[in-house]
Structure 1
């Protein structure tokens, strides 16, 4: 493909995406369905401009977006949180998969499919889309709600079930003479070895590498080490037949308590967004409208059965496992689609001759169309859930990643440290972002809400939920941080911004540019020292305090007058010697 063709394809793709995304957002259908629509428009099955014929290869590259997405999801779920959901994982998750796979298998056998192919198709359809579901939960700010946690437990179970499913494909397939199958003991040892290797990477090797890069303040190297650890974990698990996504998730979970958490998320987020969007575009490219039109009755019959059977099973099981009616309905409608793992499972089954050409193509269409219905299903589920009970369940306030009406402190110098102490005394939720790794390391184990990162990055602003904060406090009074305070106020006008300055002149400058409050730290501290000195000299506190208060009044008006007199006097003194020298 020549350079001009690549540029033309890129321009067309961006134009179509730029038109579809805002349109689908206005219609409240979400970004996922918009990307799928883009894929249909520019895909190889339409009469319009064909972006590429190599959809499968592009999909494999774009699947790295799901890997990075699962890595970030893992960082939001520490091991202790996963253990707290163990009942949902072993109960709701496993039962849902077994029942759904069984029901869809029996349904397909009624139409003449063999038991082996029916089971593979049923198992693939029983898996939901982790990428779509978690993105929708994040877009709707529902990741940490009751139905968000239950949905995640089911999705995590399905990722774990994917391992034995893939290992069963060679067993179920026809015997091939030159193919040697490994004993189960060997497979088990390989899986155990891979798990240990991933654990070592996430627990020791990656943190040590990130520490070294942070001390050097080399953010490029920092990013390289992050992507290397995710890629290594994904590659190791894929070698033993386990999904890449699960490896990325485990690495993320091991780094969830890292001091680098916010900077890691900020580094990975841009690449994740691009690749994930490309993945859903490739899903759209795999949908052939002509094949849909040729056999649309059977196709939509199967799609309807998959959606309805999963919905009913999930709702009933949710009620059985103690979920409220509204929560069970939300979980059922959210997880009703087939997932991206089906593409992998069906592809493996097809390579082992378990699926015919028609069954393979037809199954991929069912999966892709069911994924496309997800945003609409979520909206319907939300309407029904609201009638059954109160609105969305509230987030767990214990989780710092779901802070609201909190204070974001930029910088952990002496001022930032003292401010944290005061806020803690009054139980004010707050989070600190510090660019100096040494400062973060110094309080490791003492302050869990002090994180390494650069608040000027949009991705860091997002992960500290700055748009939901009540106040931003920029503690440093440097020239760069003055500009940072102004920039933050312009980006988030609804959030109060307080800045520290060196002089009163800087106070006026910042207030004029919209900063809610600016405090000259040296003036304030000097007045405090003056008050202490006067009291040590024998003056009564009732005499000193009103005077100091008058100096602070009207934005330090009395101090400004004193400074003006000193400035005029210094100016006259500077002029006087030069005049005498000229006369001499």
Structure 2
């Protein structure tokens, strides 16, 4: 039994590796590779894995860690800043698409429970594909990019609710759907409050002790135990395990351990999530594709067309241009990874028949495979569409919202608070290009409107730094008040082999030496400099000569920093 399981697991890993390598050459998402690998080695083609259900429980933890990672990225300020596109446009899109697809599928002959799952799956789009393509095209901060991300944020929240609903929909048939939903909602609220309350008091001191141990193994193990424990709690109340992972992720997302946790669990999340999508691929009935491929293509085109039209209409209704509306619609026209997860969980819980799930999964896969090309050419498609319709006044104003990023000999500014703005003004006065990175979307929107070259992002992530062309930058200036953010950013830059000068700000004098030791070239201790400015003003009022003041201030600075590094 153990040997048989090991052989099947080895087949899964080898097939996944080969498929991802091959499909990356075609610039297709890894999700498609995992699904393809699963379909090939599954019982419907090669038969190397006879019972996909043997891996179902393990694969479900991929969804748990996906939701945990999603929780780490969520923050209330981010949601508030994007509230109009998140809760307004995003909420209306999910509701309208769910009702439209749900009604159509129900009339198709499915049960109400199956219709809810299918409609929810088709209403969601692919966060992974859209964000990756927008980042590659450097259109994350364009108007249609920001609208797309806002809608995706709400879809991610809605996905959590849909995933929680699956066990409820699979409940006792003697219980009405409304009663089951009410019971699940009550239990969900209770568990969220419980986890938040307990976690608020237990997690900070726990992670503080774990950090003091200075052991990577202990840190990773602690995170795994916490996530699995929270998942067990929600599962024991007959709710989705993913709910526990999401709530704990949101709690830890507000802590200064977030970046380390995200880095540590990434490998577990990616591997388990890959296994999850492989198990979905194993359940794809290939004969269904061969027998009904024309119908699958028609359904795929219909899905893309309906979502594009509906989302475009909603965006135009909100006041944006026709081109931006169509581009946003094309960005979000596909099904997504959460939709596939929802369909798979529906099958696992017996709510969705295998044949229906396989058909919808094939439609979703085809829409995801086409999506990168729709996103890349959305501007051309939109312009051609309006030209074909004879609307010559539908100009493309997306460029008005796009930040033109310098690509050579520029300065990268991490953080755009008071210090970052001061540095930016000095650079502008000397005609030096810069790119500022800030995580406050409200600040980004306001400062871009004032003409500053600011982008939204986490400066400690190399994906963000690469998109800001760090390889050709003259220097990086880190103005964060958070010492953890500064340390994470410096470590990422140096670990990636970049040798550009780094100037960092530190609020506490004691952090000076640590920032230098991990790779900063110059560190400005804020408290020391403030005290020296005050001291200079005091001496000036006492009528000490300017030369004496300058020499004494420099001497004091040198003595303070002599044992800690250079300034």
The verdict on how the C-alpha distance between 1:195 and 1:374 changes in structure 2, with shifts beyond 3 A counting, is same
Q: Do residues 259 (structure 1) and 256 (structure 2) align?
A: yes
Residue 147 of structure 2: aligned partner: 147
User: For structure 1, which runs of at least 5 residues remain unmatched after alignment?
Assistant: 398-403, 410-419, 432-458, 475-484, 501-514, 520-539, 546-584
Indicate if the aligned counterparts of 2:168 and 2:180 stay in contact, CA closer than 8 A. no
Task: Give the deviation of 1:103 after TM superposition.
Answer: 2.1
Task: Give the deviation of 1:120 after TM superposition.
Answer: 4.5
Residue 2 of structure 1: aligned partner: 3
- Mapped to 1, the partners of 2:101 and 2:248 lie a distance apart of 33
Residue 91 of structure 2: aligned partner: 94
Residue 37 of structure 2: aligned partner: 38
Larger Rg: 1
Instruction: Compute the TM-score of the two structures, normalised by the length of structure 2.
Output: 0.64
Task: Give the deviation of 1:146 after TM superposition.
Answer: 1.0
Task: Give the deviation of 1:20 after TM superposition.
Answer: 1.0
- Secondary structure in 2 matching 1:311: helix
How many residues are treated as equivalent by the alignment? Answer: 454
The verdict on how the C-alpha distance between 1:35 and 1:342 changes in structure 2, with shifts beyond 3 A counting, is closer
**1:304-345 deviation per Cα after TM superposition (whole angstroms, max 9, x unaligned):** 222221221112112223445444334322332334454565
- Mapped to 2, the partners of 1:5 and 1:276 lie a distance apart of 20
The verdict on how the C-alpha distance between 1:347 and 1:73 changes in structure 2, with shifts beyond 3 A counting, is closer
- Mapped to 2, the partners of 1:320 and 1:39 lie a distance apart of 42
Residue 195 of structure 1: aligned partner: 192
- Mapped to 1, the partners of 2:348 and 2:495 lie a distance apart of 55
**1:11-64 deviation per Cα after TM superposition (whole angstroms, max 9, x unaligned):** 733651464144223xxx3433344343344444334xx552333443553343
- Mapped to 2, the partners of 1:352 and 1:268 lie a distance apart of 27
Q: Do residues 206 (structure 1) and 207 (structure 2) align?
A: no
Residue 406 of structure 1: aligned partner: 412
Q: Which residue of 209, 223, 227 corresponds with 2:224?
A: 227
- Mapped to 2, the partners of 1:363 and 1:106 lie a distance apart of 15
The verdict on how the C-alpha distance between 1:37 and 1:405 changes in structure 2, with shifts beyond 3 A counting, is farther
- Mapped to 2, the partners of 1:30 and 1:308 lie a distance apart of 21
Q: Which residue of 8, 11, 14 corresponds with 1:12?
A: 14
Residue 532 of structure 2: aligned partner: none
Indicate if the aligned counterparts of 1:101 and 1:123 stay in contact, CA closer than 8 A. yes
Residue 83 of structure 1: aligned partner: 80
- Mapped to 2, the partners of 1:149 and 1:140 lie a distance apart of 14
Q: Do residues 462 (structure 1) and 472 (structure 2) align?
A: no
Q: How does 1:202-351 map to 2 (within 5 A)?
A: 202-240=199-237, 242-342=239-339, 345-346=342-343
The verdict on how the C-alpha distance between 1:276 and 1:164 changes in structure 2, with shifts beyond 3 A counting, is closer
- Mapped to 1, the partners of 2:13 and 2:167 lie a distance apart of 42
Indicate if the aligned counterparts of 1:71 and 1:252 stay in contact, CA closer than 8 A. yes
- Mapped to 2, the partners of 1:95 and 1:286 lie a distance apart of 33
* Backbone CA RMSD of aligned residues: 5.0
User: For structure 2, which runs of at least 5 residues remain unmatched after alignment?
Assistant: 385-395, 428-434, 438-458, 479-489, 505-518, 524-545, 552-567
The verdict on how the C-alpha distance between 1:267 and 1:170 changes in structure 2, with shifts beyond 3 A counting, is closer
Indicate if the aligned counterparts of 2:121 and 2:342 stay in contact, CA closer than 8 A. yes
**1:220-269 deviation per Cα after TM superposition (whole angstroms, max 9, x unaligned):** 22222222333333343444455444543443333334222322222122
Indicate if the aligned counterparts of 1:266 and 1:460 stay in contact, CA closer than 8 A. no
**1:555-581 deviation per Cα after TM superposition (whole angstroms, max 9, x unaligned):** xxxxxxxxxxxxxxxxxxxxxxxxxxx
Moved more, 149-158 or 354-363: 354-363
Task: Give the deviation of 1:10 after TM superposition.
Answer: 6.3
Q: Do residues 108 (structure 1) and 105 (structure 2) align?
A: yes
Task: Give the deviation of 1:294 after TM superposition.
Answer: 1.0
Moved more, 78-87 or 351-360: 351-360
- Mapped to 2, the partners of 1:18 and 1:362 lie a distance apart of 23
- Mapped to 1, the partners of 2:491 and 2:77 lie a distance apart of 39
